[in-house]
Amino acid sequence: MIIPVRCFTCGKVVADKYEEFRRQVRQGADPAEVLDNLGLHRYCCRRMLLAHIDIIDSFMAFATIGAEEAKQSE
């Protein structure tokens, strides 16, 4: 759904590094190097970012309650 707050295995906070990771990888940086620079040295934490797919945006396409309320208030 959205990037997990912590690494499942070791408990290190990984969520705050995800946006930076995605930004740099999109710009063409080597994911391994980005992860090293972000301080994610263990493979348990690295897979958290590498294997993550953000699907909250797809869910948000079906959000109706908020949209209806917004329409009413207009």
Partner 1 sequence: MEVTIIYMKDDVCHFLIEGVDVAFANALRRTMLTRVPSMAIDEVLILENTSVMYDEMLAHRLGLIPLVTPLEDYNHPDECDCEGKGCSLCQCTLTLEVEAEGEEKLVYSGDLMSQDPKVVPASDKIPLVKLAPGQRIIIEAYARLGTGRENAKFQPVSTVAYKYVPVVSIDTKACDRCGVCVEICPKKIFRLEGDVLSTQNTLECSLCELCVKECEPNAITIDSKPDSFLFKVESTGALEPTVIIEKALDILKERIRIALDFANLL
Residue 15: count other Cβ atoms within 10 Å of its Cβ.
15
What residue 66 binds from partner 1, Zn ion, none (CB within 5 to 8 A, per partner kind)?
partner 1
Query: Least distance (Å) from partner 1 to the CB of residue 69?
Result: 5
Residue 40 burial (10 A CB sphere; 0-12, 13-18, 19+): buried
Retrieve residue 68's tokens.
Answer: 């209806």
Q: Which stretch binds Zn ion (CB under 5 A): 20-28, 29-37, 40-48, 58-66?
A: 40-48
Binds Zn ion by CB under 5 A, chosen from 44, 47, 50, 52: 44
